[in-house]
DNA sequence: GTGAAAGCGCTAACAT
DNA sequence: ATGTTAGCGCTTTCAC
């Protein structure tokens, strides 16, 4: 900036004015400055700007895995909102590891992001207390933060969605409905189990429940075990998109009526089409970002807790 | 940091030493500093650190769309490499808009990222010359940069892949093979067209070629037009994953032998399974990141041009 | 309409 | 083993 000022024969502050589009510079002067900028290939140093102004025009997003379509849709929605607000996005995948989540969030805080959107992997967010007290806005998406933290949340109706799925299968005449869910450490998995259990009532049988991170092997083993029961399941409820796909693949050839939590691309093109409880990842991302930018703009109201509806998308996978 | 120093009764530089794990601090002193840090909820300000040290420990990634599985896989691979090198990732989607690509890249440069990985949307990268001359490493992935720029590239064998697809269809007895590709503005689309054309030779017929961004409407119109020819296509070659999926959906019910460029989740579970030319997006991301971090580490050798192989994955969609 | 000076929070270089 | 000083490149404040 000093060099540009020298080259244009003005003071440093005038260059700053031109670069920031501030008023109070004669057009001719501004033009001279711009010419010098182009000639020298000058780029404003945002680190210095951030240091002085305190605003970074950057928000941090921690998700579980960018490569998972659920989170990549959510990411895209957050990014679109960020663009509209002139912000860039720092992204990180926690891989469901609380330590990694914490590292990422703290690294973002060190960079003084203007706000955070977090899909929590852990259930202890005490480490975030200093930032929240310092006024750094944070929105939790898909899962709530650990206890004792009063922050905005955007969740979906997990238990209600599970109830939809189970009722649909009950209506199809099924009484033995298995649930294949993700690890009980994950909030959404536990909530969906709760919805499943409460809806089944007397029909609940814990031998028809399997909950852990889905690997092809574990899913296959779960299915074999359940199908070998003397009273085997006649239908399946799968607890998220990855599990649904893993189950479909593990079934290779065989077929069982099925409802999956989460919609996924091509669910409609499989035969039969897969009936799902659809969330709206893009809507969740958009909602979280809207909330965050309202906070960044200065909204200091009480924490908001948005719960987005889910809907049953009936395809062919339950009909006889 | 000043406050922490005061609270711990040491000089500012000692706090800096503790925070950076530098040697030359007595354990007892370090402990006192750490205690003060925890008590005050101190977080190092990375903007100041960056300003002083010149390194940001951040790399910038510009892709076309995070929500596209091809790019989200690539992103994840880049992120994993970044983590290993203690870097964070600034991500942005260009949405195939050259102006947006430029804005993102320049915004990243203003933030003084240590390096750039770019999937170019435009074909003029003169705007990047000042950075490259200033020694900012950049790797171009999936598509080369505009002319006159001598930077590292990681591409796949687009024309060779198209040749594989066409030869497979020819071997299946087809002589009228249509190509549905993306916009000719996209390097990969043009290269795949070239491979298709060169392999077909005499059999090439431009009435069997359609190239533009795939919308359900345009794809349906293309198919209708081609199928209404007096000598209609007996097989399809689709130019990327999105087109393949859009075509499958547009065919609703009807069926034509098909090979698609790009593998996609569930391609194997459709019936028939979809034969594809598979790229390796994760491998491309990993390769690009490895190259970038070698440059960041100081490698000033001549520009490297990596071309990754593709492979034909035969499923059922061509057999009669 | 323009400029000079102070200082954001840190690290590098050099004492002690 | 610890402290002092200068200065990274910008914005803020105030003066002209």
Region B208-235 average pLDDT: 96
Handedness of CA A64, A70, A74, A79 (dihedral sign): positive
What pLDDT score was predicted for residue A82?
97
Task: Name residues whose C-beta falls within 8 Å of residue B241's C-beta, 6 or more positions apart in sequence.
Answer: B68, B69, B70, B260, B261, B262, B263, B264
Query: Which CATH superfamily is B2-44 part of?
Result: lambda repressor-like DNA-binding domains (1.10.260.40)
Query: Which CATH superfamily is B158-279 part of?
Result: Response regulator (3.40.50.2300)
Cis ω before A272 (30° cut-off from 0) = yes
Residues in chain B closer than 8 A to A72 (CB atoms):
66-69, 72
**Segment A29-80, tens digit of pLDDT:** 999 999 999 999 899 999 999 999 999 999 999 999 999 999 999 999 999 9
At B72, is the pLDDT very low, low, confident or very high (cuts 50, 70, 90)?
A: very high
The Cα–Cα gap between B227 and B38 comes to 71
Residues in chain A closer than 8 A to B106 (CB atoms):
43
Q: Which residue, B92, B21, B82, is CA-closest to B57?
A: B82
What pLDDT score was predicted for residue B254?
85
Q: Is the CB of B29 under 7 A from strand D?
A: yes
The Cα–Cα gap between B62 and A31 comes to 31
Asked whether B94 and B125 are in contact (CB, 8 A), the reply is no
Contact: B88, A66; criterion CB under 8 Å: no
pTM value is: 0.94
Asked whether A245 and A264 are in contact (CB, 8 A), the reply is yes
Contact: B46, A79; criterion CB under 8 Å: no
What pLDDT score was predicted for residue A267?
95
Handedness of CA B194, B195, B201, B207 (dihedral sign): negative
Asked whether A76 and A282 are in contact (CB, 8 A), the reply is yes
Above 70 in pLDDT, residue B320?
no
Above 70 in pLDDT, residue A23?
yes
Helix axes of A216-227 and A241-250: crossing angle, nearest 10 degrees: 70
Q: Give the chain B residue whose CA is nearest to the CA of A251.
A: B269
Fold topology of A55-155+281-306: Rossmann fold (3.40.50)
Region B42-63 average pLDDT: 94
Residues in chain B closer than 8 A to A262 (CB atoms):
none
Q: Which residue, A117, A271, A16, is CA-closest to B269?
A: A271
Please report the DSSP string for B181-204 in residue order. E--TTSHHHHHHHHHHHHHHGGG-
Query: Burial of A75 by CB count in 10 Å (0-12 exposed, 13-18 middle, 19+ buried)?
Result: buried
Please report the DSSP string for B5-56 in residue order. HHHHTS-HHHHHHHHTT-S---HHHHHHHHHHHHHHT----HHHHHHHHS--
Above 60 in pLDDT, residue A320?
no
Query: Burial of B261 by CB count in 10 Å (0-12 exposed, 13-18 middle, 19+ buried)?
Result: buried
What residue has token string 């399974």? B273
**Segment A77-96, tens digit of pLDDT:** 999 999 999 999 999 999 99
At B24, is the pLDDT very low, low, confident or very high (cuts 50, 70, 90)?
A: confident
Please report the DSSP string for A61-73 in residue order. EEES-TTSHHHHH
The Cα–Cα gap between A64 and A119 comes to 7
Q: Is the CB of A10 under 7 A from strand C?
A: yes
Q: Strands B275-278, B311-313: parallel, antiparallel or unpaired by DSSP?
A: antiparallel
The Cα–Cα gap between B141 and B117 comes to 7
Q: What angle do CA B17, B84, A101 make, to 5 degrees?
A: 80
The Cα–Cα gap between B316 and B320 comes to 9
Helix axes of B281-296 and B69-84: crossing angle, nearest 10 degrees: 30
Q: How far is the CA of A104 from the C1' of D10 (A)?
A: 27
**Segment A217-257, tens digit of pLDDT:** 999 999 999 999 999 999 999 999 999 999 999 987 788 99
**Segment A136-193, tens digit of pLDDT:** 999 999 999 999 999 999 999 999 999 999 999 999 999 999 999 999 999 999 999 9
Above 90 in pLDDT, residue A316?
no
The CA distances from residue B285 to A63, A311, B89, B270, in Å, are: 19, 36, 13, 28
The Cα–Cα gap between A282 and A296 comes to 21
**Segment A8-18, tens digit of pLDDT:** 999 999 999 99
Q: Give the chain A residue whose CA is nearest to the CA of B245.
A: A266
Check residue A306 and report its DSSP letter. E
Q: Where are the domains of chain A?
A: 2-44, 55-155+281-306, 158-279
Contact: B76, A65; criterion CB under 8 Å: yes
Nucleotides in chain C near protein beta carbons (<7 Å): 1-5, 7-13
Asked whether B284 and B141 are in contact (CB, 8 A), the reply is yes
**Segment B242-300, tens digit of pLDDT:** 999 999 999 877 889 999 999 999 999 998 999 999 999 999 999 999 999 999 999 99
Task: Name residues whose C-beta falls within 8 Å of residue A33's C-beta, 6 or more positions apart in sequence.
Answer: A4, A8, A10, A14, A15, A18, A25
What residue has token string 């996209």? B186
Question: Do B55-155+281-306 and B158-279 show the same overall fold?
Answer: yes
Q: Closest CB to A79: pick one of B92, B131, B268.
A: B92
**Segment A269-292, tens digit of pLDDT:** 998 999 999 999 999 999 999 999
Handedness of CA B35, B40, B42, B48 (dihedral sign): negative
């Amino acid at each position: 900036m000093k060099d540009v000022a020298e080259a244009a024969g003005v003071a440093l502050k005038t260059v700053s004015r031109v670069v920031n589009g501030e008023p109070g510079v004669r057009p001719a002067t501004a033009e001279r400055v711009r010419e010098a900028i182009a000639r020298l290939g000058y780029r404003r140093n945002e680190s210095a700007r951030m240091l002085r102004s305190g605003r970074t025009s950057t928000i941090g997003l921690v998700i579980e895995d960018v490569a998972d379509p659920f989170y990549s849709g959510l990411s895209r929605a957050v990014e679109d909102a960020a663009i509209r607000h002139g912000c860039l996005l720092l992204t990180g995948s926690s891989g469901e590891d609380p330590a990694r989540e914490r590292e990422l969030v703290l690294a973002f805080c060190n960079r003084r992001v203007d706000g955070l959107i977090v899909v929590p992997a852990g259930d202890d967010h005490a480490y975030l207390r200093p930032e929240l007290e310092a006024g750094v806005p944070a929105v939790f998406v898909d899962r709530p933060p650990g206890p004792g933290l009063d922050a905005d949340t955007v969740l979906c109706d997990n238990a209600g969605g599970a109830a939809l799925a189970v009722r649909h299968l009950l209506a199809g005449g099924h009484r033995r409905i298995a649930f294949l869910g993700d690890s009980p450490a994950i909030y959404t998995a536990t909530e969906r189990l709760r919805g499943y259990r409460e809806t089944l009532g007397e029909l609940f049988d814990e031998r028809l429940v399997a909950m852990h991170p889905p690997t092809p092997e574990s899913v296959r083993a779960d299915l074999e075990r359940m199908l070998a029961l003397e009273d085997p399941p006649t239908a399946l409820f799968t607890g998220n998109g990855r599990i649904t796909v893993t189950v479909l693949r593990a079934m290779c050839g065989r077929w069982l009526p099925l409802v999956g939590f989460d919609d996924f691309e091509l669910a409609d093109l499989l035969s039969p089409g897969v009936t799902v409880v659809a969330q709206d990842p893009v809507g969740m991302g958009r909602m979280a970002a809207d909330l965050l930018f309202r906070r960044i703009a200065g909204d200091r109201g009480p924490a908001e807790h948005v719960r987005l509806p889910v809907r049953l998308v009936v395809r062919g996978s339950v009909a006889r």
